[in-house]
Amino acid sequence: MIDLIKAKETFEKYSSKYDLTSEKINRKIKHTYRTSDISNMIAKGINLDEEDIELATLIGLLHDIGRFEQCKRYETFSDQDSLDHGELGVKVLLENNLIRDFIEETTYDNIIIKAIFNHNKYKMQEGLEGKELLHSKIIRDADKLDDLYLGTTSVHNYDENELISDIVFNNFLNNECIVYNSCNTNIDKRLTYLGWIYDINFEFSLKYIKEKDYINQIIDNMSCENEDTRNKMKIIKKATEDFLNK
């Protein structure tokens, strides 16, 4: 069995090495704990055994381990402006064998590493099978569920000049995730939150999004002065609701 109490103590000790007065660091610590809890919830919701529930919880705890070094080195959480935090997380865990501080046995190493590497990718790497694939899917869902929650906690006001790019609008019409690099406006970037529903792996996770009413909350917190943008938002809202109701 995995000693989750020890793992959490180790994470607390590890994260305490960074600037705890930083709002970025504290936000990431809170996100980590919530994502770990959500991973646990998903694993239980899809009826996994205790071993896999504990493993999912541990991966949730470790999934953003690279964020702390990223913030320290580059003062940003933007992968586009620094480096891939999933790949950095793998490097951090393997350097000096840090992973052994979180879990003594080596049985799950490949699963943990693959899941962390793939958790933030636009698409998972090909060739994943078995538990590597299973736990990569769980952490991707858990991470997105917490980010959707965070998307409901802030209000954004956009002026008359803020438009939704055609490519982003068509992503919603085609039930496709948004490629961040294709975003041309601030409202495009905000809409990436909603587009994540098209990359959710488990029906349990989709039901959770619907029950929490995340989509409506995010859209309702986006005030747009531009008439074309407002009309497109109505269409996007309908498209996402239809998708969740399938």
CATH number at residue 9: 1.10.3210
Please compute the mean of the pLDDT values over residues 99-121 and round it to a whole number. 97
178 and 61 belong to one structural domain:
no
Please compute the mean of the pLDDT values over residues 212-229 and round it to a whole number. 94
**Given a cut of 90, is residue 180 above it in pLDDT?**
no
For the chain, percent of residues with pLDDT exceeding 90? 95
Question: Residues 6 or more apart from 133 whose CB is under 8 A from it?
Answer: 124
118 and 42 belong to one structural domain:
yes
Compute the distance between CA of residue 52 and CA of residue 44 in angstroms, rounded to an integer: 9
100 band by pLDDT with thresholds 50, 70 and 90: very high
Q: What SS3 class is residue 27?
A: helix
**DSSP state for residue 179 in the 8-state scheme:** P
**Residue 148: per-residue pLDDT:** 96
163 and 126 belong to one structural domain:
no
- Pair of tokens at residue 225: 């002065």
144 and 157 belong to one structural domain:
no
Please compute the mean of the pLDDT values over residues 142-151 and round it to a whole number. 96
Q: How far is CA 158 from CA 98, 127, 155, 163, 218, in A?
A: 44, 42, 10, 9, 14
Question: Residues 6 or more apart from 235 whose CB is under 8 A from it?
Answer: 169, 172, 173
Nearest alpha carbon to residue 188 among 147, 227, 143, 224: 224
**Residue 17: per-residue pLDDT:** 96
181 band by pLDDT with thresholds 50, 70 and 90: confident
166 and 105 belong to one structural domain:
no
143 and 204 belong to one structural domain:
no
Q: Provide the residue range defining the domain that includes 10.
A: 1-148
Q: What pTM was estimated for this model as a whole?
A: 0.96
6 and 35 belong to one structural domain:
yes
**Given a cut of 90, is residue 221 above it in pLDDT?**
yes
Q: Which of 94, 129, 148 is the last residue of a domain?
A: 148
Q: What SS3 class is residue 157?
A: strand
Average of per-residue pLDDT values in the chain: 96
Question: Residues 6 or more apart from 18 whose CB is under 8 A from it?
Answer: 25, 68, 71, 72
10 and 112 belong to one structural domain:
yes
Q: Which of 100, 129, 148 is the last residue of a domain?
A: 148
**Residue 28: per-residue pLDDT:** 98
90 and 184 belong to one structural domain:
no
Q: How many domains would you assign to the chain?
A: 2
Please compute the mean of the pLDDT values over residues 225-242 and round it to a whole number. 95
104 and 172 belong to one structural domain:
no
Compute the distance between CA of residue 226 and CA of residue 133 in angstroms, rounded to an integer: 43
